Amino acid sequence: MVSKRRRVIEKWIDGYQQPDRYTVTAFRSPDCPHIVSSALHPVQWDNNKTIKFFTQFEGILHRVDFIVNDWLDDNIGNKIGILVTLTSYFTPELELEPYTGKYYIIFHFNEAQDTITKYVEVVDYSNTPNYLAKVNIGREKLGLGPLQEP
């Protein structure tokens, strides 16, 4: 039987068919930390900083397709880990090739299993700079400056 946690994550993934600044924070508690684990640039943001950062992708990111390569649904720890291959498609007018990368994301849940209380993203730090470069090219084509830290 599919857990409530998994159903929440499946809905979260579906949101990336029309992403906006709120997609990544959907289903999260107000105090949910967003932790990016990267050898190059580890960060921890609250929801407001996460929304502020992803606002910069609007008009550039068209959709993101997820292939979940593996699910780890932990009943004891009340969390889910997913190993994903994601492909980001950019707004067609920008004429940017899609970006594909692998990520591991761990979602911790509240007791009711309907709210994400901690979000940990392990990025492919050898490839993610290519994604950010494409976003910056898109921003430049729109007359915007480069991505900024929130």
Burial of 44 (0-12, 13-18, 19+ CB in 10 A): exposed
Chain Cα centroid distance, residue 94: 21
The domain segmentation of the chain, as residue ranges, is 4-141
In tens digits, the chain (150 residues) has pLDDT values of 899 999 999 999 999 999 999 999 999 999 999 999 876 677 899 999 999 999 999 999 999 999 999 999 999 999 999 999 999 999 999 999 999 999 999 999 999 999 999 999 998 888 989 999 999 999 999 999 999 988
DSSP string, 129-149: HHHHHHHHHHHHHTT------
Token pair for residue 65? 């397709």
CATH class of this structure's domain 4-141: alpha beta
90 within 8 A of 98, measured Cβ to Cβ:
yes
pTM: 0.93
CA atoms within 13 A on the CB side of 42: 7
